[in-house]
Structure 1
Amino acid sequence: MTDPSALLERHRPRLVYDAQEAYFADSAAIWTDSPTNELRRADGTVIAKPPTLTLDYLGTYPAQKGDVIGDRSRAYEASARALHAQPRYANRAYGHARRDRNGRLWLQYWLFYYYNDFKILGNLLSGGKHEGDWELVQIELDDDERPVRAVFTQHREAEVQPWDRVVKHGARPLVYVARGSHANYFGPGTHWTGHWVDRADGKGPRIDPALEIVETDTPKWLHWPGHWGDTKAGGPLDSNSPTSPGSRRHWKDPLALIQQATPTRPAPQTPAPKTSVRREGDALVVAYEADPAATQLVVANRPADSEEPAQVTTIDLASPRGEITIPAQSGDDDVWTSAVAPDKAPSDSV
């Protein structure tokens, strides 16, 4: 039998981001090490802050289920950007090999994001944002160690596809990451799951995350009983901040995720805006003409050919025509603009 670590590396997914994505999959240590975060009991008592608060600390102190790590600044994009800029945190995935109840080997790739951000879905959702975000890609192997099928998490559900229908880069699946929500899809486009609308245009950076191999029982922080964020659901479309991978049923039995699998369906989409961009000093002025029904405009920019998360600006539209001024990131930025209308998915990014 091939070393599971070698199999995990062989099929390590390539993440294909949306052009307007502000958060990338990074080390889980961005949540413990962020200087604006703190570990608290359910009653609000502060237990630890960085530098005492680390991933290793989560596996050593007397933890309780009600414990949370929260960002007291609420400046999520700025905090995530500062940590992602440090190579020791940027672009990570956690690889876990596990056999299911029938003895089949599965390769799991756990992905952590600083924040789940639905602000770019405009008025379609009244909630959905939450601190911390754990997502999963898993691949089933046959007895000859060949991939058979893949399962991608999407919000509270998942989607399954046979391996021959998965878009690949060599032996590695391409995972199209939805804008803001980080749901994983098998192709670019607009996706309606029955409860949620996602946009994953596939026009952003294509990232090969570094892989950290983890075991079923170690490191201990994978089984920390608290929540990776202090967000609590306030409505039917909201979600609590997530629990640790080791607390999930499919951590020990990957087939449990199959039971959540659901087919995706097409979603109505907002027409794309017409735009032009000019530079004024250190700023970019984006002129736009959006669909009359559009209520928000989302503008994202990053240095040309950069593999970094975008700087994202969202404005409420009082008129379908106008201009928005944003800070330039470099002397030569790529600028992506999309529009959002009620009851529709975001437009394509132009």
Structure 2
Amino acid sequence: MLVVLLSSALLVSGIEPAAATSPEDTAAQQLADRYAPVVKLQDSAANCSEGEHYRPIDVQSVLGNQQVALRGPWEPPDLIKTQPQGKDLGLRYPGYFLDFPGDPLRPACDYANWSAQLNSQYAPTVYAHVAGDPKYPDQLSLEYWFFYIFNDYNNTHEGDWESIQLIFDAPTPQAALTTQPAAVGYSQHGGAERAKWGDAKLELVDGTHPVVYPAAGSHANKYGQRLYLGRGSEGLGCDDTTRPEPAITPKVAYVPMNRADYLAQYPWLGFEGRWGERQRSFFDGPTGPNMKESWTAPIQDAESTWRDDSTVVPAGALLGPSSTSVFCAAVGTGSNLLRETLDRTWLLALLLALLIAVVWFAASRTRWTDADPLPARRPRAWGQAVVSAVQLFRRRPGLFAGFAAALGVLSLVTVSLARLEAARRDAPTDLSAPTQTATGFWAALVALAVTLLTIATYVVLLAAVMRTLDQLDRGEPVTTTTALRDVIRWPLARAAAQYVVVVVVLTIFVATIPLAVYYAVSRAFVVQVLVAEHCSGGTALRRSRRLVARRWWRTAVPLTLVVGAGLAVGPIAGIVLLLATDWSPTLINVVSSILFALAMPIAAAAVAYLYFDRATQRPPEAGEPLDALRSA
């Protein structure tokens, strides 16, 4: 009776009583201390939307907090209690949820600022629990649970529970102390990744403490410094662990094995609601550890949900935009758009309607028929220019395959140079290597060289394709080799350098970005003019401006669509393959690069046809080069 009265008094005062210690719990706590994880969180950034601003924290940081409320499941959610304590959550409350300060759909810096305040008051904490599985009586699970106040990933939501799990081939904690774990599982979104004890990917400190790399924002637990690509149970998007801070060793809060004992010490482990604001879809707050199958049937859950590896985003550069990089960016952008429109369906409907209207308007304002690729020098609508380029590809596939191969060879130079910095730092250079951020003078120099070579490659492609069309139009024989060889006959470097420098300088200052866009479109035909009209770089820039004058929008839209399609074909196909197949990212990026190499010469041909359309309607003026329409 005295014990009951004392426990009641402690609960009323808000102090959680210590659980009774049994020999089994004593051994289990020793086990928990022996294998306590070492955590390498990602580096934080000054910008609250970048890096990692959340730590695995003591649950007491949100219980009894005046900024937290317990709400009911009705519409609108009713306020049940402010500053709920652990004993309040112990009453279970299925369908209820904790409401933290902020809006998870538009978090801004609210949660990051709140996290900084809580981190200064509470030490990093993990909750350790040893559990058996009725279906596997000869095995034991040691779980470490991490609680974060916010998930700042694609699916932003309040509260976040993650875990790692060690499995022992032992029936009791006492027996587990005499052996090593058989396997380890790190939780990652809807699943977990397995490692055998002693695997190379499992990093250990002092031989027993597994090192965990929580991904920035999502807190998915990873085994190393990588950029991971998520599909299916791996989550949708990309998890980044490439910039870890120095390791921390969170405080281990031991959770007794017996349910009655752990509820006495941690009554919030009886809560059946959600640890975060209720929202639609995957923006919903999560349930707690006690609601997971890994808590009640840990070995069964491991057998059904653990996988042997995670998908790594290839670090090596390939030709054209990387499908995996575009996938990472596209998922993040799509998630942001969904968040902004989830509770404003009218805005989503408006955006979709505008997109459909723009595509329909652009497609209906052009002609697609009567698109014979030769003669090249004749007026064409932009739709005809695209179809003409495709028709030319169909008639001369060998010629375009040659351009694709040449583009690939030229781009290999940039790929090799991009790896130079990694090799200088003795970093891995294989396509599955860790994604590191190179810094310093040499890294900046290599990045500049890669950029310049990439621009040069595209300029050479535009000139070679234009030379090909010019010769075909004149009835002259042409091959890939001769077209590329003839490129050196024109002053491309000076004109291209002036074009790029002006655009870059105007882009640096936000106020002059519209001028950069205007300049980029109005001088977009400089390469075509140089090749077809045999003039100097300065004259070509002026001539391009006159060709576009008074037709700026009619030039900007087709150019954007044509060049954008050429750049997007590979990544879009890659994203489809990523979602629809289990191919490796490296193979998918190779396929994407091949499609890019084929698409860009076609896009270059379409741009050349757009130039011919402008040139036929606006011949050179007095003092300019000879008429582009005159045959040589």
Identify whether the pair has TM-score above 0.5, normalized to the shorter chain: yes
2:184 to 150, 153, 157: 150
Say whether residues 1:29 and 2:60 are aligned partners: yes
Q: Sort the Cα spacing of 1:239 and 1:160 in 2 relative to 1 into closer, same or farther, 3 A.
A: farther
Query: Residue 140 of structure 1 is aligned with which of 167, 173, 193?
Result: 167
- Structure 1 runs of 4+ aligned residues shifted over 6 Å read 270-276, 341-344
Bigger relative contact order (CA 8 A; separation at least 6): 1
1:92-111 alignment runs, 5 A limit:
92-100=125-133, 101-103=135-137, 104-111=139-146
**Structure 1 segment 145-294 matched on structure 2, within 5 A:** 145-165=179-199, 166-170=202-206, 171-194=208-231, 195-216=236-257, 217=259, 218=262, 219-234=266-281, 238-255=282-299, 256-262=301-307, 263-267=309-313, 268-269=324-325
CA distance in 2, matches of 1:320, 1:9: 55
Contact preservation (8 Å) 2:97, 2:278: no
Match for residue 79 of structure 2 among 18, 43, 46: 46
1:112 aligned to 2:147?
yes
Identify the structure with the greater helix proportion: 2
The secondary structure found in structure 1 opposite 2:117 is helix
Change (3 A) 1:241 1:320: farther
Instruction: Report deviation, 1:220.
Output: 2.6
Are the equivalent residues in 1 in contact too, given 2:35–2:210 (CA < 8 A)? yes
TM-score of the pair, normalised by structure 2? 0.40
One of 123, 129, 132 as aligned partner of 2:156:
129
Distance change (3 Å), C-alpha of 1:85 and 1:258: farther
* d(CA) in 2 for partners of 1:320, 1:96: 55
Q: Is the 8 Å Cα contact of residues 213 and 244 (structure 2) preserved in structure 1?
A: no
Using the alignment, how far apart are the partners of 1:3 and 1:160 within structure 2? 25
Q: Specify the code of the residue in structure 2 equivalent to 1:26.
A: I
Corresponding residue SS for 2:305? coil
- List runs of 5+ in structure 1 lacking aligned partners: 119-126, 277-288, 293-318, 324-340, 345-350
The Cα offsets for residues 168-189 of structure 1, whole Å up to 9 and x where unpaired, read as 0011000011000000011111
- Following TM superposition, by how much is the alpha carbon of 1:56 offset from its aligned partner in structure 2, in angstroms? 2.8
Q: Compared with structure 1, are the counterparts of its residues 46 and 273 closer, same or farther at alpha carbon in structure 2 (3 Å cutoff)?
A: same
Partner secondary structure for residue 146 of structure 1: coil
- Identical-residue share of aligned pairs (%): 25
8 Å CA contact 2:34–2:209 kept in 1: the answer is: yes
Letter in 2 for 1:79: W
Q: Indicate the SS of the match to 1:32.
A: coil
Match of 1:17 among 41, 57, 65: 41
SS in 2 for 1:192: strand
Paired position in structure 2 for 1:311:
none
5+ unaligned residues in a row in structure 2: which ranges?
1-23, 44-50, 104-109, 171-177, 314-323, 327-434, 441-447, 452-505, 511-570, 579-632
- CA offset at residue 321 of structure 1? 5.4
- Supply the distance in 2 between the matched residues of 1:49 and 1:24 (Cα, whole angstroms): 24
Taking the aligned partners of 1:129 and 1:188, their CA distance within structure 2 comes to 23
What RMSD in Å do the two structures reach over aligned CA positions? 3.1
Larger radius of gyration: 2
C-alpha separation in 2, matches of 1:197 and 1:230 = 24
Deviations 1:186-213, CA, capped at 9 Å, x for gaps: 1111112313310012521311000111
